[in-house]
Structure 1
Amino acid sequence: MRIRALVLAASGAVALSALAVPSASAATAGPAVTFSNLKVNSGKNIVVGSTSMVTVSATYTVTKPASLNPNSFATLPVLYRGDTLGTNSDDLLAGDDVGTCTTSSSTVLKCSAKIQFRPNSSDQDLDLLSSEAGTWKLGALAADADAATTWQGDLGTTHLQRRATLTTDASPEPVKKGRTITVTGKLARANWDTNKYAGYSTQPVKLQFRKKGSSTYTTLKTVKTTSTGTLKTTTTATADGYYRFSFAGTTTTSPVSAAGDFVDVQ
């Protein structure tokens, strides 16, 4: 996703747009506030599929001077990559609207905001790219009606991940005890550039078994996906139960476990 920035409305509120803040505004001191307790998506990874927009919530605290009117500035949580946070950041993600804050005391505001992630947007400046999956830093900004902006980074990290899918098919069924069972499947993940799912190659995936009547899966072995994301392995039939593949995930891709495929052992 390309850099999003802020346009400041004359009313004193701040509106988000795809236009860049003029570089001259960086020279003006922004609101004298600090941010803390920023949490995006309740601290969980952000997982986005191939086409549908994902909206997550963010909560944070703003500390300000008692004399500073909370209606004189607006705030916005952001995700960024790179060493510094500001209008010149390499990558910067933010929501469509500024945060909503309530007064906790004369110096403390409790705020929340929404952040949208679009893998398939009509506006290319808002489109996610597959290369953007991975670790992002958390930050926030405050801006007043004169385009004076305060940036604060290093408020934590999050993982923006491509959604994964996984299938399992165990056969033959039924099968005699002691015979060989062949288990096949495929691991795929969302491609934000093509808006389709594609096989995830050379990834370790666990083959697991849950005996009928049990609620716990046990790992039998670990196999790797092929160049196209497919899986194929064998195991010995021992008892009635469910077989599934399970993928632990990576920094860029969400974990996923397939639905169990039941095999009747006779």
Structure 2
Amino acid sequence: MAKTMWNAVVAAGAVAVVTATTAAPAGAATGGVSYSQVSVNGGKPIVIGIQEVVSVPVTFRMTTTRTWDGPPLFLLYRGELGDLGPNNLYSGFGYSDDACPTEGRGSCVVDDGVLDIDPKGDIKGNGYAGTWKSSALLHIPGEDLFTDLNHPVQVQRATRVTVNAAPEPVVTGKTITVTGKVTRANWETHSYQGYAGRTVSLQFKADGASSYTTVKKVTSGSTGSLKTTVKAAKSGTWRWNYYGNSTAGAKASTGDHVIVWSGVRVMHAR
């Protein structure tokens, strides 16, 4: 299908970052316009780092008794609905010409919308993390119709977690020291910085097992550092897992495999 890109520009110069639950109920009708079947990012929070552009899938259905002269747009706001001040963000996205044309009336379905979010150009500060409200804007000849979609929107700063388990290999019953670090994206300095005071789970997956099991929980230090000790019992993989919060995304480290052996040497006769 032919694609068209329509870019909306907010007063603050930012693009929207949105998320919602799949198959959400219709938004309250406003001026003869309602929305349903909303799905943004598959219902998951949108986690944004410091450099990579994040492409977020968007789908929804709009129904109206009015004639529009511009396809509908999703918006985020923290103030009053329709207030285009600094507490309101919105974005353009791709849509199918035959599904939601520039001009029309009745219903249309956006089934291939994409929000491209550039943390260096679209995110203006760490204050963008948190819960937003979602709405939609439809251009009607002579006016703009704003509809509250009644869905909370979660925007999160990306986290990173590292791990190192030593010594490798280790004798059964000896001590394994597991270290690491949890950091969080700073959208103002465009760097990852230590995330202090976070509860992070140390997890282990024995060789042959299909999943990780939490062994203990550790609180990160002032620089985001993680450190604990465990007794070597069997060979397997260790990792740190941070479950995130309302403003920071969840993240697990890669795994660090440690071989555990009995320490007994077998002598072979010549």
Which TM-score tier does this pair reach, normalised by the shorter chain?
0.7 to 0.9
- Taking the aligned partners of 1:79 and 1:114, their CA distance within structure 2 comes to 15
Question: How far apart are the structure 2 equivalents of 1:99 and 1:216?
Answer: 40
Q: Which residue of 2 aligns with 1:54?
A: 54
| Residue matched to 1:16 | 8
Residues in 2 aligned to 1:259 and 1:52: alpha-carbon distance in whole angstroms: 20
CA–CA separation in structure 2 for the residues paired with 1:14 and 1:222: 48
Residue 191 of structure 2 is aligned with which of 191, 196, 206?
196
- Cα deviation, 1:110-136, whole Å, max 9, x if unaligned, reads 125332322112xxxx33311111112
C-alpha separation in 2, matches of 1:136 and 1:167: 30
When residues 139 and 79 of structure 1 are mapped into structure 2, their CA distance, relative to the original with a 3 A threshold, is same
CA distance in 1, matches of 2:189, 2:141: 39
CA distance in 1, matches of 2:160, 2:129: 16
1:207 correspondence with 2:199 = no
Instruction: Select between 38-47 and 245-254 the one with higher mean Cα deviation.
Output: 38-47
Compute the TM-score of the two structures, normalised by the length of structure 1: 0.80
Which structure is higher in helix share? 1
Q: Which residue of 2 aligns with 1:74?
A: 71
CA contact (8 A) 1:171 1:183 kept: yes
For residue 144 of structure 1, what is the aligned residue in structure 2?
140
What CA distance in whole angstroms lies between the structure 2 residues aligned with 1:154 and 1:172?
Answer: 54
Question: Number of matched residues?
Answer: 235
Deviates more, 1:192-201 or 1:127-136: 127-136
Gaps of 5+ in 2: 13-29, 262-270
| Structure 1 residue 77, shift from structure 2 partner | 0.8
Give the CA deviation at 1:92. Answer: 2.0
Displacement of 1:97 in angstroms is 4.4
Shift of 1:100: 4.8
Instruction: Indicate the SS of the match to 2:42.
Output: helix
Secondary structure class of the residue paired with 2:171: coil
| Contact residue 85 and residue 151 of structure 1 kept, 8 A | yes
Output the CA distance in 1 between the equivalents of 2:96 and 2:148.
20
* Shift in Å, 1:42: 1.9
The change in CA–CA distance for 1:152 and 1:89 in structure 2 (over 3 A counts) is farther
1:42 is matched with which residue? 42
Asked if the contact 1:14/1:144 (under 8 Å) is kept, the reply is no
Q: Distance in 1 between matches of 2:105 and 2:140?
A: 19
Partners of 2:229 and 2:123 lie apart in 1 by: 41
Please list, as runs of the form range in 1=range in 2, the aligned pairs for 1:150-161 lying within 5 A after superposition: 150-161=145-156
Give the corresponding residue for 1:235. Answer: 230
> In structure 1, what residue type is equivalent to 2:83?
T
Partner of 2:118: 118
Q: What amino acid is the match of 1:226?
A: G
Say yes or no: does 1:168 pair with 2:168.
no
Matches of 1:79 and 1:40, distance apart in 2: 13
Taking the aligned partners of 2:238 and 2:194, their CA distance within structure 1 comes to: 21
Task: State the distance in 1 between where 2:105 and 2:220 align.
Answer: 57
Cα RMSD of the aligned pairs, angstroms, is 2.5
Q: Which amino acid aligns with 1:109?
A: C
Q: CA deviation at 1:207?
A: 0.6
1:87 aligns with 2:65: no
Point out the more displaced range, 34-43 or 89-98. Answer: 89-98
Deviations 1:152-211 (A, max 9, x none): 114312211111111110001111111111000000111111111111110000011111
Q: Following the alignment from structure 1 to structure 2, what is the Cα–Cα distance between the partners of residues 75 and 40? A: 15
Q: Which residue of 1 aligns with 2:246?
A: 251
In structure 1, stretches of 5+ residues that fail to align are 1-12, 21-29
Which residue in 2 is equivalent to 1:4?
none
Kindly, what percent of the aligned residue pairs are identical?
34
